[in-house]
Structure 1
Amino acid sequence: MSQFISVFDMLKIGVGPSSSHTLGPWRAAQSFIQKIQSEGLFDQIDTVKIDLYGSLSLTGKGHATDVAVLLGLSGEDPELIDVRLINQIIQEIENSESINLDNSKKVSFQKSHLVFNREFLPFHANGITFRGYNKGQEISTETFYSIGGGFVVQESESLKKESLEKKNFPFPIEKAKQLEDYCESTGKAISEIVWQNELELRSEHDIDQDIRRIWETMLECMYIGCHTEGKLPGGLNVKRRAYDTHRKLIKDSVYQNQSEWITAIRSTEVKFREILKWVSCFALAVNEVNASLGRVVTAPTNGSAGVIPAVLMYYLVIEDHNAGFEEIKKFLLVAGEIGSIFKKNATISAAMGGCQAEIGVSSAMAAGALTELLGGTPAQVLVAAEIAMEHHLGLTCDPIGGLVQVPCIERNSMGAIKAINAAELALETNPEDSLVPLDSVIDTMWETAKDMNKNYKETSEGGLAVTVGLADC
């Protein structure tokens, strides 16, 4: 039976800067709490210790992995937390040398209780072990793996949830070719196929409500990024650029909220250079918010969170001024399905596949989704996704200082532009003439990932992370 990954698994609301290094460890901490509660150990534990392994350790400081773990143990939720309180919560933990476990019980915790280990665990590059103690004796040990996009598993687990396996999905999808065949046999668009599958898990009302939340979070993120100036935290002193770019593009337009902002943007110049700048501005804005522990949508990861909102915003403000929620819904349904096919057959984790697994996948997702909105056939949608990924193959992950800032933020801008270009190329392509199917490029990406030197897989031990020292910044 094909495994089912929902659109809402691929597009999660969370806190930056990284889905695998921030959101994943946060969720792992929450899972640890659930484990000790279900096993009747919660009340016995008086001390907690954490070990981070592999990529989580090597770039954990820059990705706020330690902060995320402490917030998760404290009972905070990444979708709901007031991000303005994060520093206050962490400071209280450090000052009191204790954690209010699940916001209900104080247990001992010191800085030395969270250890960054350079060694890699065999199962996955992103390993994290929680240990619970009672009077000095270890009574609970749980190891989790953050496998990209905020997904967390234990070694004994499978991504196939039992409850989903029992569902009778009308269109089970493992490969892109299956998706294309369903569209051809039913005459449905890709978004319609995805919609039918999602209805097995949620009502129409709930799907629409959750998609609205995702889009509103994306829009808010772009808005905040475009209206916030200064420098990003972390020590690199990276200057925010979306603010200045936005100010030059928006000129003297007057608006009071995000809806009026979209209208104002639609009234600006739409020459080629301005369009390029707007798309880049949207992408930069999202990832500047992400880099400062803001709330974003994994699309499919935090490090690549700016591509999909930027391309969708491009469609709304440049291509179709009458577009609304229905177009937004179609876009996100298609994007989510394309992302899930990559996850099932390769990876969306930079620690496993380099940045091709993040920016490359997000660009493919956006390219395919845009192609459907521009009137492309299902086959052309898949051609667009293939083109976008084909030209990201081999892209390494080499963040300077372990921070999701350089070159990560700019890569979102480049991924968004490539997605738009890929969509336009696909619309002028007869799919029968395409030599490389999407499934083949996904297989190639996975083989490339396995061949890639581990230094280029989110370790900050290769590429720009080494040739450009912190002293140079």
Structure 2
Amino acid sequence: MERISVFDMLKIGVGPSSSHTLGPWLAARRWLEDLKSTGDFDNIEKIKIYLYGSLALTGKGHYTDKAILLGLLGENPRTIDTSSINEKINSIKKNDSIKLLHEKDIVFSVSDDLCFLYGKKLPYHANGMKFSCWIKGNEESQIYYSIGGGFIEKEGESIAEQFQVTLPFPCDQSEDLLNHCKKHKISVSEMVFENEKAWRTEEEIKSGLIGIWHVMEECVYKGCTTSGILPGGLGVTRRAAVHNQKLMKGISYTNSMEWIAAIKGKSFDFQEVLEWISCFAMAVNEENAAMGRVVTAPTNGASGVIPAVLMYYFCFQNPNVTDEDIVRFLMVAGEIGSFFKKGATISAAMGGCQAEIGVSSAMAAAALTEIQGGTPAQVLMAAEIAMEHHLGLTCDPIGGLVQIPCIERNSMGAVKAITASKIAIDSDPALAKIPLDKVIKTMWDTAKDMNVKYKETSEGGLAANISVNVPEC
């Protein structure tokens, strides 16, 4: 089974979707980089891209077309200036040409050469895409799948082959984790840290995770201070900024550090703390919907849950939070997410929203339990409780946009995570009836039984019952 780093589960990228935006972006770039490695890149005469399944059905609303164009340009989703995206896309459309990897100009018509095959699906995964190029008059094609959370898989290449490394504490399921922790008398975060050293130095692990936290923190702040209408045609009004102004009650600030200090310096009642949790989560997913920079946690559509829960702890539970606390939180969250990735799915196109919001809620619940002093067994219990109450959650984005019900759903996932953590800390795991591995299996069984129209197709649920007129993006 593949060995998955915390940094594989928590990726810095661009919204609105890890599977429909980040994955296709990375696939397009990798396709061209592979052609460079074989010496064929310089001889490309023409290219054409075909989108299948869920990528076709909801690709417009998820900006899959824009993502692929940015990947073809060779842009890096971690570092691109997000304010420049529309300018780059409009230039390609206006000139009917694209500069592949910023090196080779070819004729390219977005309307003719980027094809949404709405009635077709590739057999392996709902998120399939085919890249074709013509070299000396001959067509060469390669299929990629975006399998959730920004992970991509090239046809004929096992995903497990990409993640081969020897770990001191290998874990294929959560029971392995519990056994390691018991045997060596270590916490979950201590175990994960030792495994992470198989990929990175101690300093790289710590600085990398703090860097991820800063991206989350800045995303929350930006979402809480930006008003307006979200793009895409639904006319959804951003609400986090309004909630923030109401809760801050006139306190001024000029940056995220001052803002957080102001929040921590005030006293809030239970209702106001609950409002802050929702505000934090919605802020992130409003940024995500606006093609802003977010962290997949484990996906873009569920990227607000973990930052909201960590902000809750940071602002209201521990006035003296350290970098070590944040590192421990993110390591545990990433490890729990990896069990769902290996044992089920983190792709809504394969498992519905239980695979996104459900998994993110389980990750956040486990992480919060760890840094509040929970035992390894309580950490796993918190993750199980959170997922148990997301089982069967469908993915039915109205208009194919990651907006309704996705933005509010992150708030619900955050609150459930905090509740699950509290229940676990107050409980004896020895009396629990359902282990985490069983709920992961149940989630996967539920995903396989779920009607395909509830798996990110916008053909079922709210998407089918709410009449909207969304123009093509």
Instruction: State the TM-score bracket (shorter-chain normalisation).
Output: over 0.9
User: What is the distance in 1 between the residues matched to 2:135 and 2:337?
Assistant: 43
Q: What secondary structure sits across from 1:46 in the alignment?
A: strand
1:34 aligns with 2:33: yes
CA displacement, residues 108-162 of structure 1 (integer Å, 9 cap, x when unaligned) = 1102111101211001000011111146x34321110000000000231112236
Given that residues 232 and 470 in structure 2 are in contact (C-alpha distance below 8 angstroms), is that contact kept between their aligned partners in structure 1? no
CA distance in 1, matches of 2:418, 2:86: 38
Q: CA deviation at 1:471?
A: 4.7
Q: Give the conservation status (yes or no) of the 8 Å contact 1:26–1:69.
A: yes
> Does structure 2 conserve the Cα–Cα contact (< 8 Å) formed by 1:36 and 1:140?
no
2:122 is the counterpart of 1:126: no
Q: 2 CA distance for matches of 1:326 and 1:254?
A: 29
SS at match of 2:198: coil
SS of 2:233's equivalent in the other structure is coil
C-alpha contact (below 8 Å) 1:131/1:138 kept by paired residues? no
> Which amino acid counterpart does residue 141 of structure 2 have in structure 1?
T
Residue matched to 2:52: 53
Q: Where do 1:288-303 residues align within 5 Å?
A: 288-303=286-301
Aligned to 1:266: 264
Instruction: Measure, in 2, the Cα distance between the counterparts of 1:407 and 1:317.
Output: 27
1:48-74 deviation line (CA, Å, top 9, x unaligned): 110000000000000000000000000
Give the C-alpha shift of residue 297 in structure 1. Answer: 0.1
Alpha-carbon distance in 2 for matches of 1:91, 1:157 = 34
Distance in 2 between residues matched to 1:115 and 1:168, nearest whole Å: 41
Alignment match, 1:413:
411
Cα deviation per residue 1:425-447 (whole Å; 9 max; x = unaligned)? 10111001100000000000000
What SS does the corresponding residue of 2:141 show, helix, strand or coil? strand
- Structure 1 CA distance, aligned partners of 2:266 and 2:133? 58
Whether contact under 8 Å (2:5, 2:334) holds in the other structure is: yes
1:238 to 2:236 alignment: yes
Equivalence for 2:145:
145
Structure 2, gaps ≥5 residues long:
none
Letter of the 2:89 counterpart: I
Q: Partner of 2:255 in structure 1?
A: 257
Q: How many Å separate the matches in 2 of 1:240 and 1:91?
A: 25
Using the alignment, how far apart are the partners of 1:145 and 1:273 within structure 2? Answer: 43
Q: Deviations over 1:259-311 (max 9, x none)?
A: 22111111223211001100000000000000000000000000000000000
Paired residue for 1:426, among 424, 427, 445? 424
User: Following the alignment from structure 1 to structure 2, what is the Cα–Cα distance between the partners of residues 472 and 113?
Assistant: 23
Give the secondary structure class of the aligned counterpart of 1:244. helix
Would you say 1:109 and 2:111 are equivalent positions?
A: no
Distance 1:415 1:138 in 2: 50
Tell me the distance in 1 between the aligned counterparts of 2:199 and 2:333.
Answer: 18
Q: 2:441 aligns with which of 440, 443, 456?
A: 443
Aligned pairs for 1:373-388 within 5 A = 373-388=371-386
Instruction: Give the AA of the match of 1:127.
Output: G
Q: Which amino acid aligns with 1:60?
A: G
| Deviation of the 1:26 alpha carbon | 0.2
Match of 2:43 in 1: 44
Instruction: Give, as a single letter, the amino acid of the residue that structure 1 aligns with 2:199.
Output: L
Percent identity, aligned pairs only, is 58
Q: Does structure 2 retain, via aligned residues, the 8 Å contact 1:401–1:465?
A: yes
Native 8 Å contact 1:296 1:302 kept in 2: yes
In 2: Cα distance, 1:32 partner to 1:277 partner: 44
RMSD (CA atoms): 1.2
Aligned equivalents of 1:404, 1:257: Cα separation in 2: 27
Alpha-carbon offset, residue 250 of structure 1: 1.1
Please say if 1:169 is aligned against 2:170: no
Report SS of the residue matched to 1:145: strand
Indicate the residue corresponding to 1:160 in structure 2. 160
Amino acid at match of 1:89: K
Alignment of 1:61-80 (within 5 A): 61-80=60-79
Confirm or deny: 8 A CA contact 1:249 1:268 kept in the other structure.
Answer: no
Which shows bigger deviation, 114-123 or 254-263?
A: 254-263
CA distance in 1, matches of 2:365, 2:135: 53
Among 284, 287, 303, the residue aligned to 2:285: 287
2:94 corresponds in structure 1 to: 95
Aligned to 1:24: 23
Shift of residue 170 of structure 1? 0.5
* Superposition TM-score, scaled by structure 1 size: 0.98
**Which residue identity is paired with 1:31?**
R
Distance 1:122 1:380 in 2: 39
2:200 to 196, 199, 202: 202
Alignment of 1:215-230 (within 5 A): 215-230=213-228
1:470 is paired with a residue whose SS is coil
1:389 aligns with 2:390: no
* Counterpart AA for 2:347: S
Using the TM superposition, give the Cα deviation of residue 472 of structure 1 relative to its aligned residue in structure 2, in angstroms: 10
Q: Distance in 1 between matches of 2:178 and 2:257?
A: 36
How far apart in 2 are the matches of 1:434 and 1:366? 20
| Inter-partner Cα distance in structure 2 for 1:471 and 1:69 | 25
Given that residues 245 and 281 in structure 1 are in contact (C-alpha distance below 8 angstroms), is that contact kept between their aligned partners in structure 2? yes
Aligned partner of 1:11 in structure 2 is 10
Q: Which of 193, 208, 220 is matched with 2:191 structurally? A: 193
Whole-Å separation in 1 of the counterparts to 2:466 and 2:248 = 34
Tell me the distance in 1 between the aligned counterparts of 2:155 and 2:358.
27
Which whole-Å deviations, capped at 9, do the CAs of 1:223-272 have from their partners, x for residues lacking one? 10000001100000000000000000111223232222111111223211
> Deviation string for 1:338-358 (max 9, x for gaps)?
000110000000000000000
Counterpart CA distance in 2 for 1:96 and 1:134 is 22
Distance 1:80 1:201 in 2: 22
